[in-house]
Structure formats: C-alpha cells, structure tokens
Amino acid sequence: MISFLKDILFMQRTYTKDAPLKIGEAIKLQGWVQTRRDHGKLVFLDVRDRTGIIQVVFKASKEVEPVRSEWVVEIEGEVKERPKSMQNLQIPTGTIEISASKLAVLSEAEPMPFPIDTPGHDIDEELRLKYRYLDLRRPRMQKNIKTRSAYITAAREYLASKEFVEIETPMLTKSTPEGSRDFVVPSRIYPGKFFALPQSPQQYKQLLMTAGFERYFQVARAIRDEDPRADRAFEHSQIDIEMSFVTKEDVMALMEEMTIFAIEKIGGKILQKPFPVITYSDAMKKYGADKFDVRTDKEKEEGMLAFAWVVDFPFFKKKKEGKWTFTHNPFSAPLNDEQEQWLLAGKNIEKITALQYDLVCNGLEVAGGSIRTNRSDVLKATFKILGYNEEEIENEFSHMLEAFDYGTPPHGGCAQGFERLLTTFLKEETLREVQAFPQTGQGRTSVMEAPSELSPSQLKELQIEIKKTPKK
C-alpha cells in the first residue's frame, strides 16, 4: 500500500505569525515559553517560535504548574480574538490569544545563565560565548544572523544573474605568503609534513581562470593566525570573486553593483552612488589614512553607509629591516607597461603602483582586490624583489608559474569582507556580533573547549612530541 506523508500528519503545526488568520480554529503551536504569568485560576504563557510570539491562556492545572521560561512545549488550543481592551497592538499577534486545551512538554530548561531578552551587550562576552546557543536566542542576535543570511542570499542572487559559477576551493592547502601567519594541520600519512588552512582562496581562484571558468565566486572562509581584535578574527568570511578578460574598472563596477544590490535588499541606506573613487596618495593627503569615514554626525545617526574606492596603491613598501614587502597582494599586476619593465628589472621599486583597489565603508576596509599578472616572469620578478631566491620561488610557486605557461587569460578579482560591512550596518562593535560561533577575544572557540590537548594515541599517530607542558 502506498501512503503519503500528508495523510499521516493529522494536525499540522501553525506558526505564531499565522495564528491571527485562524480565529475560531483549533491549532497546534510548538515553541519556547518566553514568559509565564500566574493570575489565580489562569496561567498565561507567551510562546515563541522562529516567526514571533503569542499569548496562550491555560486554566491553572498540575500539567501547566511546573512549566517555566525556555521550556519547549507543544500546545493545542483555539484561536480567540481578545476583547478590545486587552489587545496589544505593539505585536503582530496582539489582537488574539490561544485558549489552550492540551499541553505537551517537549523539553525542560534550567534557568538561563544570563538574560536573553535584552540586547546583552553588557553581559561578559566569555560567558555569552560559552553559552552561545542561548545567547543566539536573543532578538538582537537572531536579527544579526538572519540579516547576514539575507545579505549572502542577495549577493548570490546578484552573482548568479551575472553568470558567476560558485566553486569551493580546498581547506587543506599549502602555506602561502598572504601576509599573515598560517594555521597548520599535521599530516598523519606524511609525518612531519603539514597542510596550511587557506588565508584566502587567492591562488586557487586564479587557477580557476586558467581553467576557463572566467567568472568565479565563493562565500569563502579565510583563516589567519592573527591576534584577535574587534575587526579581525582567526576566521572570517568573504565573498570572493575572480574574473577573466577584465579591467580594474570592470571588477570595481561589479563589486559595487553587487554591494548596492545586497545592501539595499537588507534595508541599508547608501550615502553616495556611484561610489566615489580616490587615489591612495590623495586619501593620505586628505584623510591621513587609506580608510576614512566621510559621514557627518547626523549621517552616522541615520545609519548611512558611506562607501569609497581607494586606488593606485604602492605595490611595495620597506619593512623595518630594510627588506621589501608587498602592501596588498604579491599576485597583482603593476599599473602599466613601463612599470612592468621596472618590476622585471627590479628598479624604481618604490615608484611601482599596483592595480589594486580597496573598498572603504564608514572608515573600514570592506573589500579589496587587484588585477593580477598572468606572466610567469613578472610573478617571478615580484618574488625576487620580496627576497625569495630561485629555489624558494620554485618550491613555493612552481604551480602558479607553470599554470601561467599554459594559457592563462588576463584576470583580476576582489574579496569582500562582508562581516565588517554588516558590523557597521548593524551598528555593532565587533565582527563577533555577526558570526554565529566566533572565537573569543582570547582566541578560543565558543561553546567547545578548543584549542585543547590531543590524546597520547593521537599524538603518537601523528608522530608529534610535545616538548613543554601546554599553557592552561
């Protein structure tokens, strides 16, 4: 005999937001008890689900007696219009209530370790992160995480409309010179050898251009072993893009359109469109920095987002020890043919400009990218300036140099650190407020205890010996 699920589900769940459409009907609700009020013979429970909150009225009974805040319940009852004087027009379900006929407790709850109905900024962050799954119940965090999801969905929608292909790149990869410390993962099969977690998909996305995709994107995780700060974390997410046969203006226009589309989808207000473009040297003269906030106090108050592009960055800068380092990305191309000659000859290094562009919003760098070189001799020359010898270049980058010799189109890309953008849009102070399970300010995981020690058998299998007793 064939049966269908719809015949088995005899009473479908109603979401709280839909209950006002069902006056006079019997419905079933499932959710959390937000508050409980005892009024003699009657007990009022406010029941919350992902769509809202609703008032449920019980006759006092031994079933409802033990129920407390944050218990998970299933309730059957009739939707009734409240008398006019009892209506609460502040909430969408405030004109009705549920007269309960049945209660099932699906899960009991201990008292919460902290209030979850307040914004919660005042609560110790370590404690919030220890119980992140409860902290996330607060309306502010529900809103932040849902806004993040809506932003990513909008960006995906935009990029799909422009025929971008979403491609995942490996998490276990090779150490790269992206300017930060790598997180490393020991290999069991090759003892003494290590993978690195990606600081960005930079090289893979360039190789996807060699592979002929022309338009790549990924909501990518970038993992960097930096000291945690408000606008930096070990892990952050970026909308990562790479395109072939494009100019710097093409990539900037694409990123700008995507940002406007996605920001406006989530209700953001943008101060100036199209985004103004300023050179690095003008920005330094005008603002004394390459990240700046041009908003007036009133515009800040109104939650305006002030975007600007910064272009024409120096390719290289001198480190303290006198050696050259890159300012943004070693894979970039220089500004023009003349500068390419300088780069190949290793002269006028301080005058070489990279085809790099950064997007600034409200004083934060929210995206950055460049047109890359697709020539192996130019890339080699860059690494020579950075102090690599032939052998090191061969060991670390032979795969890129080789790929460039098999027909790699001119290409460029950009990565948007949308968590920073959302942090400023949502008027939050730290990236952590828009991440579900961020690392703590002390560099530990939320909820789970990590980093943590490995068992002796795991260490043995990896052939790793711990010299010092680890710090607690």
| CA–CA distances in Å: residue 91 to residues 52, 53, 409 | 9, 8, 56
Helix (H) or strand (E) holding 395: helix 390-404
Location of structure tokens 């058998």: 457
CB of 204 to ligand ASP, least distance (A): 10
CB of 413 to ligand ASP, least distance (A): 4
CB of 425 to ligand ASP, least distance (A): 20
Kindly indicate which of the ranges 53-61, 129-137, 367-375, 459-467 contains the residues binding ligand ASP, using the contact rule CB under 6 A: 367-375
**Is 200 one of the binding residues for ligand ASP (CB under 6 A)?**
yes
| CA–CA distances in Å: residue 470 to residues 81, 193, 446, 449 | 63, 22, 20, 14
Which of the residues 316 through 335 are near ligand ASP (CB under 6 A)?
Answer: 329
Number of chain residues interacting with ligand ASP (CB under 6 A): 10
Helix (H/G/I), strand (E/B), else coil: 345:
helix
| CA quadruple 423, 425, 427, 430: dihedral, nearest 10 | 10
CB of 178 to ligand ASP, least distance (A): 7
- The pair of three-digit structure tokens given for residue 120, joined into one six-digit string: 């919660």
Pairing of strands 42-49, 304-305: unpaired
Q: Which is nearer to ligand ASP, 19 or 333 (CB)?
A: 333
What is the rounded end-to-end Cα distance, in angstroms, of the chain? Answer: 61
Which of the residues 369 through 428 are near ligand ASP (CB under 6 A)?
Answer: 369-370, 413-415
Which of the residues 42 through 61 are near ligand ASP (CB under 6 A)?
Answer: none
CB of 222 to ligand ASP, least distance (A): 6
Which residue(s) pair with 313 in the sheet?
354
**Is 155 one of the binding residues for ligand ASP (CB under 6 A)?**
no
**Is 439 one of the binding residues for ligand ASP (CB under 6 A)?**
no
Q: Which is nearer to ligand ASP, 14 or 356 (CB)?
A: 356
Kindly indicate which of the ranges 9-17, 69-77, 99-107, 366-374 contains the residues binding ligand ASP, using the contact rule CB under 6 A: 366-374
Q: Is 356 exposed, middle or buried (0-12, 13-18, 19+ CB in 10 A)?
A: buried
DSSP one-letter code for 129: H
What DSSP assignment string belongs to 275-328?
PPEEEHHHHHHHHSSSS-----HHHHHTTEE-EEEEEEEESEEE-TTS-EEESS
Ramachandran quadrant class, 52 (left: phi over 0; alpha: psi -120 to 50; beta: rest): left
Q: Which is nearer to ligand ASP, 327 or 445 (CB)?
A: 327
Q: Which is nearer to ligand ASP, 144 or 202 (CB)?
A: 202
Residue whose Cβ sits closest to ligand ASP: 200
Q: Which is nearer to ligand ASP, 71 or 326 (CB)?
A: 326
CB of 152 to ligand ASP, least distance (A): 17
Whether 48 contacts 71, CB under 8 Å: no
CB of 89 to ligand ASP, least distance (A): 48
Q: Which is nearer to ligand ASP, 177 or 368 (CB)?
A: 368
d(CA 195, CA 190): 10
CB of 224 to ligand ASP, least distance (A): 9
Which of the residues 219 through 278 are near ligand ASP (CB under 6 A)?
Answer: 222
Helix (H) or strand (E) holding 465: none
CB of 76 to ligand ASP, least distance (A): 53
d(CA 8, CA 10): 6
Q: Which is nearer to ligand ASP, 138 or 411 (CB)?
A: 411
CB of 271 to ligand ASP, least distance (A): 24
Q: Which is nearer to ligand ASP, 242 or 433 (CB)?
A: 242
Q: Which is nearer to ligand ASP, 31 or 413 (CB)?
A: 413
- CA 465: distance to chain centroid? 35
Binding site for ligand ASP (CB under 6 A): 200, 202, 222, 329, 368-370, 413-415
